[in-house]
Amino acid sequence: MQSLITCSLILALILPCFGSNDASYNVMDFGAVGDGKTDDSQAFLKAWQGTCGAQGTPTLQIPSNYEFLLSALVLKGPCNATTILIKLEGKIVAPTKDSWAGNNKRSLISIINVKQLTLDGSGGFIDGCGSSWWPCKTCSRPSMLTFQYCNDLSVHDFTITNSPKSHIHVHYCEGVTFSRINVTAPGDSPNTDGIDVTYSKNVLIQDSTIQSGDDCIAISGGSSVVNVTGIACGPGHGISIGSLGKRNATVEGIYIRNCTLTKTKYGARIKTFPVGNGCAKQITFEEITLDQTRYPIFIDKHYGSYSLTNGEVEVSGVTFRGFQGTSFDGRAITLDCGQLGCYDIVLDQIDIVSSLPAKPACCSCKNAHGTVTSTVPNCSCLMP
């Protein structure tokens, strides 16, 4: 018994030296000022190094009632921690175009090679100060938040606004969930995608509101098993698969349902360049509500200003089901399938009318093959 008591006392003295399993690393404790004018990047980096180096389940704390100015920041793994929580309760602001330091204009915050990460944005948000960048059409503009090689990632209750370019980019990640994301940018802000997914697998994006000047969600080359549900999109360019063709990449196993598209340029879109190779297959858009969408259903195999080549992206196994609402000027369904065509296209239970009585809803096809049932407007141009 005496030996047991002695061992217990020794453990009690030693264990605190290894740090708590739920230690919290507050950026204010590492020199952050939080006045919105002082660059707090180094304080964030030091706090991250402590968080990443800790054992167990540490938290990186970004507290409320402060505004943190950051320059380009890279938070790298791998980490010692089993899981990591980033709790964003304060405000993060990006520098304006003329104040951006250094040549790294890829992203304001890049999180790379971190497993089992949760970003809880309750109460906080990121402002990209994009209006200082948007007038410069030739500038290399940064995204705001990039996740790269981050498996088992969860981001929820998060607000991000006015990015110079895309707001959130998911690249080479697996096992990702985005919930209750709020993205806002003006409808005329250039290339301000809400969420871009590239070369990623097993991704869920749900219950979110996205207003942007480009795609609300873009799912691009190398991505598979992506589920999108409960998205309110608009303004913006809708929910897109692509652009495809620059690289020999596949997008497959995509399921998009229960989304509302309000005054968007496009609705459900697949876009491929008339060059290169690759394929888009096993894609379903289902239960989509439209309000004055200019091109509600659109397959575009002539995207971009490229000359036609012998190569062409394969588009097959695409289902559009349960669409209802209005197109802006009647161009309800456009299936432009290029020289090699699209195959196994399904149009089912579609009711799209024009918001302009003088321009009734219509369907146009080029080399599109599939089946059509219970669809308004009539789409008899779809070939077997």
- Catalytic residue numbers, as ranges: 214, 237
- In angstroms, the CA 180 to CA 185 distance is 17
273 contacts 313 by C-beta, under 8 angstroms = yes
323-362 burial by CB neighbour count: b if 16+ within 10 A, else e? bebbbbbbbbbbbbbbeebbbebbbbebebbbbeeeeebb
With CA atoms as reference, report the closest residue to 99 among 45, 39, 140, 32.
Answer: 39
- Which residues make beta-bridge pairs with 208? 231
> Which tokens is 351 given?
């009711």
Q: Within 13 Å and on the Cβ side, how many CA atoms surround 2?
A: 0
Sign of CA dihedral 118, 106, 70, 103: positive
Q: What Rg value do the Cα atoms of the chain yield, rounded?
A: 24
Kindly state the helix (H) or strand (E) to which residue 86 belongs, with its residue range.
strand 84-88
> Which tokens is 313 given?
């992206």
Burial class (CB in 10 A: 0-12, 13-18, 19+), 10: exposed
List, as one string, the DSSP characters of 17-29. Answer: GG--TT-EEEGGG
Report the SS3 class of residue 44.
helix
Cβ atoms within 10 A of the Cβ of 138, count? 5
Look-up of token digits 């509302």:
260
Q: Indicate the residue type of 316.
A: S
328 contacts 359 by C-beta, under 8 angstroms = no
